[in-house]
Amino acid sequence: MNMAVLAVAMEVDPQVLDPGATAWMLAASALVLLMTPGLAFFYGGLVRMKSVLNIMMMSFGAMGVVGVVWALWGYGMAFGPDSLNGLVGDPFANFGLSGLTGTIGTKAAGLPDMVFIGFQATFAIITVALISGAVAERVRFGPWLLFAALWVTLVYAPIAHWVWGGGIFGADGIIGSKISALDFAGGTVVHMNAGIAGLMLAVVLGKRLGFMKDPNIRPHNLPFVMLGAGLLWFGWFGFNAGSELAADATAALAWTNTLLATSAALLGWLLIERLRDGHATSLGAASGAVAGLVAVTPACGFVDPIGAIAIGVVAGAVCALAVGLKFKIGLDDSLDVVAVHFVGGLWGTLSLGFFALPSAKTEGGLFYGGGMAQFWPQLLTALIITLWSGLMTTLIAFIIHKTMGMRVSEADELNGIDVTEHAETAYELLMVGGSFHPGDPHGKADADAVPAESQSEGGRSRGKVST
């Protein structure tokens, strides 16, 4: 078949391979997978040096567990035919991905189903990994792996089915006939879902020893944080633009909006820091970038560049202000998963009620002639996700915690979770008194080696954005 005939065939037959779209989606899938090691660096820099390997292992553990669960039954539950009256997809319809290895065009025109399956697996993986930041430095590794398997099965897969796969809310999920909400790339499925799960898991497990009292609870490696943020930003172009499932103009719009919203959020966060604290920090820049990435995720293919910039600026400011709330309410969300992912994802989801462009899917947001008609579906969707994820996460965490014991002992937490859980340390040298000495295997630092002004909870001053 020559190229002209192929082009004609592709226009009328979605089951004819589209080489360009396939190549793009393979690359996008690899970009999204890279985000999880990037997240490991981001989180690893934010914890104390005696906990860095454990928090990174929680991300890598998610890659292992979720990847296998996704292939065996997770994909079927998220994207298979309705089961249990549409609550989930059928986990046995394509158990182990049987019957899907050679199919094309079932989920996207011209795209092999295996590419779609792999792309969606990377979303499930990073969603679980995101949760770990809320309970850093106090979770046993074995129970964490069990939590990951149960959570992706009972929380992530049903929500993905409702939003993208079909189910009880309509033939096309929540974005379909019954609610008609919009979520281009996972503001609800990934970010709000992970954020509320992190909140409930932190509540079940309780605070770290010394929370809001020990000045040594602070980021140990800010270059790691910035490297991780950079890798996340890089991979997020695959996350957002790839969600179009085609190499077309909408993918290009999503790519550009991802850049613009993130840039604007970075500036918004730094502006809040400058006005509130008198300085702009590297931690603020990295956190602001992630907040912008989160907020633009549900909107990137549905708004214009001006809308993306507005969404980003607000996200940077609102998430920066939200960070300080955990100290006021005494919530030990170790790495600000709730403030960045839940708050950022909620704002991004609701922002479509204001900034969505008129299209076949919507009359547009408030500022584009559609009034408030799109806002209410967005709000209803956010409430559904919050309730299901919050309740199910609490149930899963409570059962594991009360049976196996999910939290490390006080002695292990004090000695260092890297040593007690993994028998390893991240560093051989330790800064003590201004010079390097052989490292304490528990990673304990001399507080006198750190300027007093930087000894604040989690690297962020209590009630402030960051120090």
Q: How far apart are CA 106 and CA 14, in angstroms?
A: 8
The pTM is what?
0.89
The residue-averaged pLDDT of 348-371 equals 96
Are the C-beta atoms of residues 80 and 113 closer than 8 Å to each other?
A: no
Q: For residue 436, what are the β-bridge partners?
A: 431
Mean pLDDT over 64-70 rounds to 98
Q: Give the C-alpha separation, 52 to 149, whole Å.
A: 23
Nearest partner of 300 among 346, 242, 377, 363, judged by Cα: 242
3-18 pLDDT per residue, tens: 444 444 445 578 899 9
DSSP 178-217: TT----SS-IIIIIIHHHHHHHHHHHHH-PPTTTTT-TT-
The closest of 65, 45, 44 to 56, measured between CA atoms, is: 44
Do residues 53 and 422 lie in contact, with contact meaning Cβ atoms separated by under 8 Å? yes
Q: Distance between CA atoms of 233 and 433, rounded to whole angstroms?
A: 36
Digit-coded pLDDT (tens) for 192-223: 999 999 999 999 999 999 998 888 899 999 99
Q: Please choose, from the candidates 144, 6, 136, 140, the residue with its C-alpha nearest in 3D space to the C-alpha of residue 65.
A: 144
Q: Check whether 461 has a pLDDT greater than 60.
A: no
Q: Which of 396, 400, 383, 391 is nearest to 346 (CA)?
A: 383
Instruction: Tell me the mean pLDDT in the region 308-319.
Output: 98
- Alpha helices in 356-449, H assignment, sequence order: 375-403, 410-415, 417-422
* C-alpha closest to that of 78 among 62, 91, 96, 65: 91
Give dist(CA 293, CA 403) in Å, integer.
37
382 touches 189 (CB < 8 A)? no
The answer to whether the CB of 325 falls within 8 A of the CB of 276 is no
Query: What is the model's pLDDT at position 293?
Result: 98
pLDDT at 122: 98
Task: Note the pLDDT of residue 292.
Answer: 98
Parse the chain into domains and list their residue ranges: 17-91+111-403
- Could you tell me if 101 and 142 are in contact, meaning their C-beta atoms sit under 8 angstroms apart? no
- pLDDT value of position 215: 87
163 touches 173 (CB < 8 A): yes
CA atoms within 13 A on the CB side of 452: 0
Of 467, 140, 200, 135, which is closest to residue 332 (Cα–Cα)? 135
**Alpha-carbon span 269 to 271, nearest angstrom:** 5
Task: Please state, in angstroms and rounded to a whole number, the distance separating the CA atoms of residues 93 and 75.
Answer: 10
- Segment among 117-121, 216-220, 394-398 with least mean pLDDT: 216-220
% of the chain surpassing 90 pLDDT:
80
pLDDT tens, position by position, 143-192: 999 999 999 999 999 999 999 876 655 445 554 456 889 999 999 999 99
Q: What is the pLDDT of residue 456?
A: 38
Q: Is the pLDDT of residue 463 over 70?
A: no
Task: Spell out the residues 6+ positions from residue 455 whose beta carbon is closer than 8 angstroms to its own.
Answer: 215, 216, 218, 447
pLDDT tens-digit readout, 10-56:
455 788 999 999 999 999 999 999 999 999 999 999 999 999 999 99
Question: CATH classification of 17-91+111-403 is 1.10.357.10, yes or no?
Answer: no
Q: What does the block give as tokens for 221? A: 């490696």
Q: Count the alpha carbons within 13 Å of 463 in the hemisphere toward its beta carbon.
A: 1
Q: Which residues contact 269 (CB under 8 A, 6 or more apart)?
A: 284, 285, 287, 288, 291, 316, 317, 319, 320, 465
The pLDDT value given to residue 81: 92
Quickly state the pLDDT bin for 440 (edges 50, 70, 90).
very low
